[in-house]
Amino acid sequence: MSIELHILGSGSATPIPGRNPTAQLLKLDQSEVLIDCGEGTQIQMLRFRHKASRIKVILISHLHGDHYLGLPGLLSSMHLMGRKEPVHLFGPPQLKEILDFQFKVSETVLKFPLHFYPTQDAEVAHLTEFCGFDIYSFPLNHRIPTTGFLFKEKPRRGHLITEMLRQYKIPVEMYKEIKAGADFITTDGNLIPNHILVKASTPSISYAYCSDTAPTLSTVNVINGVDWLYHEATFLHELIDRATETYHTTAKQAGEIAQSAGVKNLIIGHFSSRYRDLKPLQNEAALAFDQVIAAEDGMKFTLR
């Protein structure tokens, strides 16, 4: 299964030409998870050729407008396009009130089931299983209740090597056990080690999404060792006072978090509209962690 991350919006509070508020799609084969849905997300989807019909799960981190104002529009378009398939929506409890009110005053009765699951920002929570992944929310440290999201692929089992199964005359009823890691003992007492019988699978993958937040130690523990981390880096460190006051992270701090959490790759985003050139932000994060890329709208990352 291919796993890709598509950036639809990499900006913060206000958009600038070419940089929309936050939204991204995690593509797990043919199914997609939409993570945050800033204003203009559906236009970005058209621009980058994404079909809304592939979105099965939507995760909203918090209720600042740059993370969810595109949602009523996207859901309305799904309705107008005749969607029948359910959407599973996770977000802060008041998101349901906002949507219900919008649909009430517009006299819209959605043609598809919208299943809403409230999130909380007190502790780590398992939200759902989707396409072989466990999806968790975890608390971030922002001005209003905010959660990050963690995607952890379930352990992948190896593939049985058919020729070897035949060669050692292994009974079918043992296949499950062998796939799970057991060795085999032949009738004359020879031990056939598991690695002869099973081809190792590609390792499981993990992805963590952190926007918006002040740098926090508890986050470092949750995202420890992930393969890919998307972390906000709204400001350069020269604006640390502004970052602290608004519960945001600087590029330097984002690099330090990636480094302390021992992640493998860092993508920074959620940039203030004051920055047109992203090089200084990327360079600043790279001082602590050099596997870093500054996100731009339309970028695609192949996570595996």
Minimum CB separation from Zn ion for residue 13, in Å?
8
DSSP string, 22-63: SEEEEEETTEEEEEEE-TTHHHHHHHTT--GGGEEEEE----
Residues 20 and 11 sit within 8 Å (Cβ to Cβ):
yes
User: Two tokens at 175?
Assistant: 């296949």
Q: Which amino acid is at 232?
A: E
Query: How far is the CA of 232 from the CAs of 83, 147, 170, 171, 229, in angstroms?
Result: 33, 13, 52, 53, 10
Q: Is 212 near Zn ion (CB under 5 A)?
A: yes
Residues 147 and 223 sit within 8 Å (Cβ to Cβ):
no
If you count them, how many residues does the chain have? 304
- What is the separation of C-alpha 286 from the centre of its chain, rounded to a whole number of angstroms? 22
Residues 212 and 61 sit within 8 Å (Cβ to Cβ):
yes
Give whichever of 148 and 152 is closer to Zn ion, judged by the CB atom: 148
Residue 130's DSSP bridge partners are 133
The active-site residue, picked from 36, 66, 227, 297, is 66
User: Two tokens at 156?
Assistant: 């992948």
Which residue number has the CB closest to Zn ion?
A: 64
Give whichever of 272 and 282 is closer to Zn ion, judged by the CB atom: 272
By CB under 5 A, which span of 28-36, 58-66, 175-183, 277-285 interacts with Zn ion? 58-66
Minimum CB separation from Zn ion for residue 301, in Å?
23
- CA nearest neighbour of 77 among 104, 45, 49: 45
Of positions 64, 83, 237, 252, contacts Zn ion by CB under 5 A: 64
Minimum CB separation from Zn ion for residue 42, in Å?
21
The size of the interface with Zn ion (CB under 5 A), counted in residues, is 2
- By CB atoms closer than 10 A (0-12, 13-18, 19+), residue 260 is middle
By CB under 5 A, which span of 30-38, 168-176, 186-194, 209-217 interacts with Zn ion? 209-217
By CB under 5 A, which span of 29-37, 160-168, 194-202, 204-212 interacts with Zn ion? 204-212
Please indicate whether residue 290 is annotated as part of the active site.
Answer: no
User: Two tokens at 12?
Assistant: 């913060």
By CB under 5 A, which span of 32-40, 90-98, 202-210, 211-219 interacts with Zn ion? 211-219
Minimum CB separation from Zn ion for residue 259, in Å?
24
Contacts of 74 (CB under 8 A, 6+ apart): 34, 37, 41, 42, 45, 52
Residues that bind Zn ion (CB under 5 A): 64, 212
Q: Which of the residues are catalytic?
A: 66
